[in-house]
Amino acid sequence: MELNTHAEGSALVVVVTGRMDAVTAQAFVDRLREELARGALRVVVDCAGLEYVSSAGLRGILTIYKELNHKGGTQAYCALREQVREVFDVSGFASIIPIHDTREAALTALA
Amino acid sequence: MPRKPSNLVYGVDDRPPLGVALILAIQHLFFLGVGLIIPVMILRGIGAPPEQIGSVVSLSMIAAGIATIIQSLNRGPVGSGYLCAQGNDPTIIAFSIMAGKAGGLPLIFGMTALSGFAECLLSRVLHRLRTIFPAEVTGVILAMVGLTLLPYTIADFFGVKEHHGIIHGGTTAVGVVTLAVICGINVWSKGKLRFYSVLCGVAAGFASAWLSGMLTDADINRLSAAPLLAVPDLSVIGWSFSPALIVPVLVATLSSTLKSVATITMCQKINDADWKRPDMENVSRGILADGLASVIGGALGGMGQSLYAATVGLSIATGATSRIIARIMGGMFIVLAFLPKLSAVYSIMPAPVMGAALMFVIAFMIISGIQIMMSRMIDTRKTFIIAISLMFGISVDLFPALYKTVHPWLAPIFSSSLSVTTVLALLLNVIFRIGIASRATLELSPGAASSDSIFTFMDSQGGKWGARREVIQKATAALNELYEAAQAVTGRPTVVSVEACFDELNLDLAARYAGPPLEIPSAPPGQDELLADERALLRLSGFLIRRQADKVRIEEKEGSCTVHLHFEH
């Protein structure tokens, strides 16, 4: 899995590529904890390149969700592929985590 | 009952209003009429007198009309029940000319009936031959059916035949007007006008041909000189047989049958939004009707009949696939056989108008073929099956002199790009099946690389099996989840042994590890539970496995647990 981050306006955009599972989920959590420690409070996670997420990946996503909320921040996930969206839906995550079709829509929602 | 796709206004079981159905049927007749060139070509090729040509063409029309109606029957043992015209087919040209030169019309009719009889026999074993007609073979045949028509359509569109190989501006302009009107109406019109796109385009084509002087007074005179009513001369009918022609006839029959299998498959796909695979019982009934069409053709003094993929292309384009249209079309074609004045319209139709109209329907045929090809996972084997058969097929048209010296018995195969593609695709499919087993195993050692192994294994097997991508994706996700859960439930690095079995209808995975069984709950754990309790992650894992597989069964034995996952394919 690859993670690339950059700023867009006042938001941090995290671009995820590859698979998020038991092997890579911790790397996601660690990286985002670093960004949160650096003061990131608006986070958009772009999932256009995210091919697959397992239960371990979902737990990593939930961990960061809670930590960012605790700091008073906001976040959104965008451009989920069909298979990943289905996993979010059936696990109930879609009703917890804000999801948008495009990065622009996610950035607008957080602005 | 298959679910009607959203792009169809009138599906196969619908009854369009009579006025609409009549005009749709007339449009189909334009394409059916194109096939009449073939008996003309054959009879001129054997030096038959013009009166005989006229009679044989009329008798072919009657045979085609009857056969189209029979093909549309949806009750009983004969007929696929779809809108698909039966008409004269280029695959018959080679053996018909051979027969005509050797024994005149009776030998053509006799061998045509024999070809039909052979196809009827073939239809009885077809449903057992599903493995030789996977999606890539059916799809490449269909795409090639469209491409095969290109030499004629392009030549007609540009008027190169009449103008000694040079693109003629006036002819091209007529072709462009026709194609523009057809496509424009099809893309941008609202409501019912889309049904009549071909009719409007052909009318615009005739008008522009008249204005440009392409349609001359001589053409109009030919139309008015034709008698209103005429009965075909039945004295041309007779039958004889020759054992020497059996092999070329059977080769042509095989090639034509395979094309018809692909065409019926296309009919099934365009009428079923949830189409997954050919219904071989229905294909069988359709091929029986197709074979009967040639028997009727030979018996009535017409020529060999086969399914017309072009009319299927037109039905996709207009969004009307009702079988009522087929029956009206068949009836009209029979009546037209007795009305030379009306059927003379075919003889004066400007070539670019026909070329443009054919291009329009070929577009849908090619795309339909590609969609069927790509409906399953493609691996290296399938890449070769598709590409090699396409390349050699296209070579027949690119290098016309190349295959002229083959043995006469093999001539029917090499006479057309379609036959070469069809035979090669089937042969390569059979050859490349060597080494594909329906079972495969994978040993997953604990470690970061196992996830990659799972994805690579499933992707590779999916390609070999030609499985549906969405099923392989679900199975891969479930297997990965299962592997991670096995590590978590045992609390230590655990080897997981996987066995995968596939047939066209089922994908089964069995994953075995040493340790306690997994929990497979029917609801996911809540978010607080997920963060607080390690075991909640396991329950989420089990829940996702349950949602992804169609059936989950757990077997415990002597400290080992085997999780059986079943996926409907």
Alpha helices in B159-279, H assignment, sequence order: 169-188, 197-212, 217-225, 246-270
State how many domains chain A has. Answer: 1
Average pLDDT over residues B206-221: 86
Residue B500's SS3 state is strand
Residue B469 touches partner A, C-beta closer than 8 Å: no
**Strand order across the B439-444 sheet:** B439-444, B496-503, B506-514, B560-568, B551-557
Is the pLDDT assigned to residue A110 strictly greater than 80?
yes
Q: Given this model, what pLDDT does residue B224 score? A: 81
Q: Given this model, what pLDDT does residue B43 score? A: 86
Chain B partners of A58 at a C-beta cutoff of 8 Å?
A: 530, 540
Q: Given this model, what pLDDT does residue B234 score? A: 85
Q: Report the C-alpha gap between B530 and B111 in whole angstroms.
A: 75
For B274-301, give the DSSP string: T--S--HHHHHHHHHHHHHHHHHHHHHT
Q: Given this model, what pLDDT does residue B411 score? A: 76
Q: What is the number of CB-based contacts under 8 A between chain A and chain B?
A: 56
Say if CB B138 and CB B421 are below 8 A apart.
Answer: no
Q: What are phi and psi of B443, to 5 degrees?
A: -105, 120
Chain A partners of B451 at a C-beta cutoff of 8 Å?
A: 19, 21-23
Judged by CB atoms closer than 8 Å, whether chains meet at B537 and A87 is answered as no
In chain A, how many H helices and how many E strands? 4, 5
Judged by CB atoms closer than 8 Å, whether chains meet at A91 and B477 is answered as no
Judged by CB atoms closer than 8 Å, whether chains meet at A92 and B484 is answered as no
Question: Within 13 Å and on the Cβ side, how many CA atoms surround B285?
Answer: 18
Question: Which pLDDT tens digit goes with each residue over B389-419?
Answer: 999 999 988 888 888 888 877 777 787 788 8
Residue B481 touches partner A, C-beta closer than 8 Å: yes
Residue of B nearest to A18 (CA): B452
In the numeric block, the tokens 């099996």 are attached to B465
Q: Given this model, what pLDDT does residue B329 score? A: 95
Chain A partners of B527 at a C-beta cutoff of 8 Å?
A: 62, 92, 96
Question: Tokens in use for B384?
Answer: 């070769």
Question: Which pLDDT tens digit goes with each residue over A40-78?
Answer: 899 999 999 999 999 999 989 999 999 999 999 999 999
CA of B137 vs chain A CAs: smallest distance (Å): 29
ipTM here: 0.92
Residue B531 touches partner A, C-beta closer than 8 Å: yes
Q: What are phi and psi of A91, to 5 degrees?
A: -85, -5
B439-568: CATH topology: Heat Shock Protein 90 (3.30.565)
Residue B496 touches partner A, C-beta closer than 8 Å: no
Residue type, B458: M
Judged by CB atoms closer than 8 Å, whether chains meet at A91 and B544 is answered as yes
Is the pLDDT assigned to residue B280 strictly greater than 80?
yes
Judged by CB atoms closer than 8 Å, whether chains meet at B540 and A59 is answered as yes
Q: Per CB distance under 8 Å, which residues of A are interface residues toward B?
A: 19, 21-23, 52, 54-56, 58-59, 62-63, 66, 83, 87, 90-92, 96
Dihedral sign, Cα of residue A50, residue A52, residue A57, residue A59 = positive
A55, A64, A68: best to mutate for the B interface, most B CBs within 10 A: A55
Q: Report the C-alpha gap between A86 and A52 in whole angstroms.
A: 11
CA of A2 vs chain B CAs: smallest distance (Å): 15
All structural domains of chain B with their residue ranges: 18-432, 439-568
Judged by CB atoms closer than 8 Å, whether chains meet at A21 and B524 is answered as no
Chain B partners of A19 at a C-beta cutoff of 8 Å?
A: 451, 455
CATH number of the domain encompassing residue A21: 3.30.750.24
Judged by CB atoms closer than 8 Å, whether chains meet at A55 and B481 is answered as yes
Residue B143 touches partner A, C-beta closer than 8 Å: no
In this complex, the residue of B526, B531, B544 whose CB is nearest that of residue A55 is B544
Identify the band that residue B92 occupies on the pLDDT scale cut at 50, 70 and 90.
Answer: confident
Judged by CB atoms closer than 8 Å, whether chains meet at A54 and B531 is answered as no
In this complex, the residue of A22, A55, A96 whose CB is nearest that of residue B540 is A55
* Exposure b/e, B461-470, CB count within 10 A at least 16 = b: bbbbbbbbee
Instruction: Determine which helix (DSSP H) or strand (DSSP E) holds B28, and give its type and residue range.
Output: helix B18-34
Residue B444's SS3 state is strand
Q: What are phi and psi of B150, to 5 degrees?
A: -60, -45
Residue of B nearest to A63 (CA): B531
Question: Which pLDDT tens digit goes with each residue over B447-494?
Answer: 888 999 999 999 999 999 999 999 999 999 999 999 999 998 998 899
Identify the band that residue B213 occupies on the pLDDT scale cut at 50, 70 and 90.
Answer: confident
The residues that bridge with B512 in the sheet, in sequence order, are B497, B562
Residue B541 touches partner A, C-beta closer than 8 Å: yes
Question: Which pLDDT tens digit goes with each residue over B63-89?
Answer: 999 999 999 999 999 999 999 999 987
CA of A18 vs chain B CAs: smallest distance (Å): 11
Judged by CB atoms closer than 8 Å, whether chains meet at B451 and A21 is answered as yes
CA of A54 vs chain B CAs: smallest distance (Å): 6
CA of B533 vs chain A CAs: smallest distance (Å): 11
